[in-house]
Amino acid sequence: MMNFKTFWKETIAGFIIKRVLLALLIVIVLAWVTLLLLDRYTHHGESVRVPDLQGLFVEEAQSILANYALYPEVIDSVYVKDKPLGTIVEQVPSANSSVKKNRSIYLILNKRQMNMVPFPDVNDISVRQADALLKSLGLSVSGVIYSPSEFKDLVIDVSYMGQSIVPGTRLPEGSRVTLIVGSGVGSEISYVPDLVGRTYVNAKNEAIVSMFVIGAVNYDIPPAGDENEYIIYKQKPEAGEEMPSGTRINIWLTKDQNLIEQSMNNRFEEEQFF
């Protein structure tokens, strides 16, 4: 009868069993080494709690995370008007979450600059319409001032920080403006102000101070974002005429210096004649 020693050393079955057992041993050793390396690489069992970074600047967050062997990574920026500019408004993972060391904490920042909103054209619409339009753009109305105008109950001008503004002016989101609204033509008779030689914005201010309002605005060449470079060379009614307060003054503007000088010379000659 064949003993175990002879079976193990001299038979094919014994040879196969030895190879199978050796292969299993190699697999077990490799699996153990792999798990050991994974534990060391992933720091198994070595977790830290994520600190609360909201409201901090990235530089501050980086200093704090270094104490936890974590790293900040900015992934996006948004604008939140109620939060300080440039600070962290959101983090992933959230505060107090457990994470492994040497991981990134993803941050979303509040933009470092305020959103600038192009001011819409609200002239010749009602206060209610203007208020709704401004709110939809992140702006608001701080008050309403009534001034004589043929455009009763319609917006005739807008003031921001005491200055008249024109459509397209970029304002910080959340800004508050004052609407100048027509109260109808007054019974008081006033002298039409001299607007020739002024820019459109300056003319609007002067007209309102004098209890008048700008009517039609005519450019000899349509402007391309350079309205402030245009100068008034003609107005109707003309300066010095007596008109009811709130009357519209139509103006003509140009950048042509020759046309401006010619208009000024004609006015000077007329004054000399009279």
Residues 107, 75 contacting (CB under 8 angstroms): yes
Average pLDDT rounded to a whole number, residues 252-272: 79
Q: What is the pLDDT of residue 18?
A: 72
C-alpha to C-alpha distance for 150 and 147, rounded to whole angstroms: 10
Residue 186 has pLDDT above 80, yes or no: no
Please indicate whether residue 8 or residue 160 has the higher confidence score (pLDDT): 160
Residue 251 has pLDDT above 90, yes or no: yes
Residue 270 has pLDDT above 90, yes or no: no
Indicate the domain borders of the chain: 47-110, 115-184, 189-274
Tens of pLDDT, residues 20-66: 777 888 888 888 877 777 666 655 556 899 999 999 999 999 999 99
Q: What is the pLDDT of residue 1?
A: 53
Q: Do 47-110 and 189-274 come out as alike in CATH topology?
A: yes
Q: Which CATH number fits domain 115-184: 3.10.310.10, 3.40.50.300, 2.60.40.10, 3.30.10.20?
A: 3.30.10.20
CATH code at 47-110: 3.30.10.20
| Percentage of the chain modeled with pLDDT above 90 | 46
Work out the mean pLDDT of the chain and round it to a whole number: 86
For the chain, how many residues are written? 274
Q: What is the pLDDT of residue 24?
A: 84
Q: How confident is the model at residue 88 (pLDDT cuts 50, 70, 90)?
A: very high
Please indicate whether residue 8 or residue 145 has the higher confidence score (pLDDT): 145
Q: Which CATH number fits domain 189-274: 3.40.50.300, 3.30.10.20, 2.60.120.10, 3.30.260.10?
A: 3.30.10.20
Q: What is the pLDDT of residue 9?
A: 63
Q: What is the pLDDT of residue 5?
A: 63
Please indicate whether residue 12 or residue 241 has the higher confidence score (pLDDT): 241
Q: What is the pLDDT of residue 132?
A: 95
Q: What is the pLDDT of residue 268?
A: 62
In DSSP notation, the chain reads ---HHHHHHHSHHHHHHHHHHHHHHHHHHHHHHHHHHHHHHHTTT-EEEPPP-TT--HHHHHHHHHTTT-EEEEEEEE--TTS-TTSEEEEESPTT-EEETT-EEEEEEEPSSPPEEEPP--TTSBHHHHHHHHHHTT-EEEEEEEEEEEEETBEEEEEETTEE--TT-EEETT-EEEEEEE-B--S-EEEPP--TT--HHHHHHHHHHTT-EEEEEEESS--SS-GGG-EEEEEESPTT-EEETT-EEEEEEE--HHHHHHHHHHHHHHHHH-
Tens of pLDDT, residues 119-172: 999 988 999 999 999 999 999 999 999 988 887 899 989 999 988 888 889 999
pTM score? 0.55
Residue 195 has pLDDT above 90, yes or no: yes
